[in-house]
A = this chain, B = another copy of it.
Amino acid sequence: MPNRKIATPISLVEVKTACSNCNLHELCLPMGLSHDEVEKLDELVSNRRRLKRGEHLYRAGEPFDSIFAVRSGFFKTDVLLEDGREQVTGFQMTGELLGLDGISTEIHSCNAVALEDSEVCAIPFSHLEGLSREIHTLQHHFHKVMSREIVRDHGVMMLLGTMRAEERLAAFLLNLSQRFTARGYSPAEFYLRMTREEIGSYLGLKLETVSRAFSRFQEEGLIAVQQKHVRILNIPGLKQLMNHQQGRG
C-alpha cells in the first residue's frame, strides 16, 4: 500500500481505510467506479491525516499539491482580505473535497480549518490527473465534482446577493439538513459545528443578526435551538420563508 512515509510500517487501520474499503463510496471520488477501478484509486490515496479541532489543513499562500477528501469530521474554508476582513466560503463534511481552489495557481487561495477532530485522505493532484487519463469514469466524475462546486458557489452568490437575513439562515439550515440526510443522519436534528460568527461570515451577516434570526425562528416555532443544537420543526415553513419574501436591505 503506497504511503508517502515509506519507512513507516503499514498499520491495519490504514489498510482498512483505502477507498475500496471506505464506506464513503457513494459520496466521494470513487463514486460510480468499478471494483477494479477503485483498487487503482487506492494506490493514489497516499496519505491520511488527522486534524484536531482548530487545526489548519492548509493555509492561503502555501503550495498546492494534493486535494483532500474529508473522511470524518467537519471543515470550513475562508478567504482573507488585506484589511483583515474574512469570508467563510464553505463548510465541508464527510465525502466532500477540499483544495480545488489550489489547482489554478498551484498555491492555495484559501484556508481550510477543522471545526472538529477530523480525518482526511490526501490525493496528490498529479496522480489524480494521471489516473484520470486512464479511467474515463474517474475523469468525468472529477469534472462533475468541480462543476458542482461552481454551481454551489453560484447558489451562495444568489443567497448573498438577493436574500435577506432570515432567508439566508433558512437556506443555510435547509442545506445542512439535506447534506446530513444524504449521509444517513436525521434531516431535522443536528449539532452545528461552527460558531454564530462563522455562520454569519458565510452568510454575509454579523453574528448578532444570525443570533436574532435563530431566536425569531424559535419564536415562530420553525426550529428549536439551544446553542449549537438545532431541531427543525417545520421544514416546509423554512422553505416558504426562503422563497416567498421579497427585497433586501
Chain A residues at the B interface, C-beta cutoff of 8 Å: 79, 81-83, 85-87, 89, 100-105, 109-110, 129, 132-133, 136, 139-140, 143-144, 146-151, 153-158, 160-163, 201-204, 243-244, 246, 249
Contact = CB atoms under 8 A, between A and B. Distances in A.
Nearest to A202: B161
A148 B204 contact: no
Contacts of A133: 132-133, 136, 139
24 contacts: A79-B154, A83-B244, A85-B162, A85-B163, A87-B157, A87-B162, A89-B154, A100-B150, A101-B147, A101-B151, A103-B144, A103-B147, A104-B148, A110-B154, A129-B139, A129-B140, A132-B132, A133-B136, A146-B146, A150-B150, A150-B153, A153-B154, A157-B160, A160-B204
Contact of A160 (B143, B161, B246): B161
B81 A154 contact: no
B87 A161 contact: yes
A120 to B, nearest CB: 19
Q: Chain copies in the assembly?
A: 2
A132 B139 CA distance: 9
Nearest to A106: B144
B83 A161 contact: no
A156 B159 CA distance: 12
Given A104-B147, A129-B136, A157 B243 contact: no
Contact of A103 (B79, B103, B143, B249): B143
Contact of A79 (B144, B149, B158): B158
B101 A150 contact: yes
Q: Which 9 A-B pairs have the closest CB atoms?
A: A161-B204, A103-B147, A153-B153, A160-B160, A104-B147, A104-B148, A87-B158, A85-B162, A146-B146
B157 A143 contact: no
Nearest to A248: B204
A148 to B, nearest CB: 4
Nearest to A148: B104
Contacts of A101: 147, 150-151, 154
A41 to B, nearest CB: 17
Contacts of A158: 79, 81, 85, 87, 89
